[in-house]
C-alpha cells in the first residue's frame, strides 16, 4: 500500500472524523461536539452542522488514499425530524467527498464492525466495545479531552471505520 491517509467518518451530530496514516497512527481528528474543533455548534436550538468546517477539514488532508463513511439509516420508531437530521449529516459528508473529488466508500455499520471487531456487538454493547477496541487499536487517539471524563464513542467509531479503510486498502476486508 502506498503512503497516504485514510479517513473514517461517523457522520452523526455527535460523531467524528479520524485520519490515520498507513501504519494506523492517528494524524488528525475532529469530533462533532468538540468545543474548539468541532463541526457542529450548539446555538439556542439543537446542534447544527457547519459545512464550511467539514469541507475545509477534508480538503486539507493530503495525501489522501480513501475516505470511509458509515452508512446511516432510519431506525423504526424514529421521529421524522431525527430521520431527516441523520440523512442530512450523512449527505453532507458524501456530497463533500464527491465535490472535492476524494476517493470514498460508504460502508454499513455491520460490515466494518464484523471486520474490525470480529463480530457484531450485542444490542446495548456497541459503544462500550468500540471504545475498548479503539483504545487498543489506535492508542494514540485521545477519546477524552479537557474536563471530559467519558470517552467519546463517535471518535472511537470513526477510528475503527478508518482502521477498516486500512484493511480495505491492504486487501484484507470486503
DSSP state letters, 24-90: S-EEEEEETT-TTT-SEEE-SSSEEE-HHHHHHHHHT--SEEEEEEE-----TT--HHHHHHHHHHH
Domain harbouring 103, CATH code: 3.30.420.10
Burial grade of 171 (CB within 10 A; 0-12, 13-18, 19 or more): exposed
pLDDT at 3 over 90: no
Counted domains in the chain: 1
pLDDT for the residue numbered 48:
86
- In tens, the pLDDT along 18-47 reads 999 999 999 999 998 888 788 888 766 678
pLDDT for the residue numbered 154:
93
pLDDT for the residue numbered 82:
63
Percent of the residues in the chain that have a pLDDT greater than 70, as a whole number: 87
**Averaged over 54-80, what is the pLDDT?**
85
Q: Which of 166, 169, 143 is nearest to 154 (CA)?
A: 143
pLDDT at 1 over 60: no
pLDDT for the residue numbered 34:
87
* 78/93: higher pLDDT: 93
Domain residues for 162? 5-170
Which residues make Cβ contacts (< 8 Å) with residue 131, sequence separation at least 6? Answer: 143, 151, 153, 156
* 146/90: higher pLDDT: 90
pTM above 0.85, yes or no: yes
pLDDT band at residue 122 using 50, 70 and 90 as cut-offs: low
**Averaged over 110-121, what is the pLDDT?**
84
Amino acid at each position: 500500500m502506498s503512503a497516504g491517509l485514510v479517513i473514517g467518518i461517523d457522520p452523526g451530530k455527535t460523531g467524528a472524523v479520524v485520519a490515520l496514516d498507513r501504519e494506523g497512527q492517528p494524524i488528525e481528528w475532529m469530533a462533532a461536539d468538540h468545543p474548539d474543533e468541532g463541526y457542529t455548534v450548539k446555538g439556542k436550538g439543537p446542534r447544527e452542522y457547519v459545512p464550511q468546517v467539514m469541507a475545509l477539514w477534508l480538503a486539507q488532508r493530503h495525501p489522501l488514499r480513501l475516505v470511509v463513511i458509515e452508512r446511516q439509516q432510519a431506525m423504526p420508531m424514529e421521529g421524522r425530524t431525527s430521520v431527516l437530521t441523520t440523512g442530512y449529516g450523512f449527505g453532507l459528508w458524501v456530497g463533500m467527498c464527491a465535490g472535492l473529488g476524494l476517493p470514498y466508500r460508504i460502508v454499513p455499520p455491520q460490515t466494518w464492525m464484523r471486520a474490525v471487531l470480529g463480530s457484531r456487538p450485542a444490542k446495548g454493547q456497541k459503544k462500550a466495545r468500540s471504545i475498548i477496541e479503539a483504545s487498543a487499536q489506535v492508542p494514540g487517539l485521545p477519546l477524552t479531552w479537557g474536563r471530559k471524563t467519558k470517552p467519546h464513542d463517535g471518535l472511537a467509531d470513526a477510528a475503527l471505520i478508518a482502521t477498516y479503510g486500512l484493511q480495505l486498502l491492504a486487501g484484507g476486508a470486503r
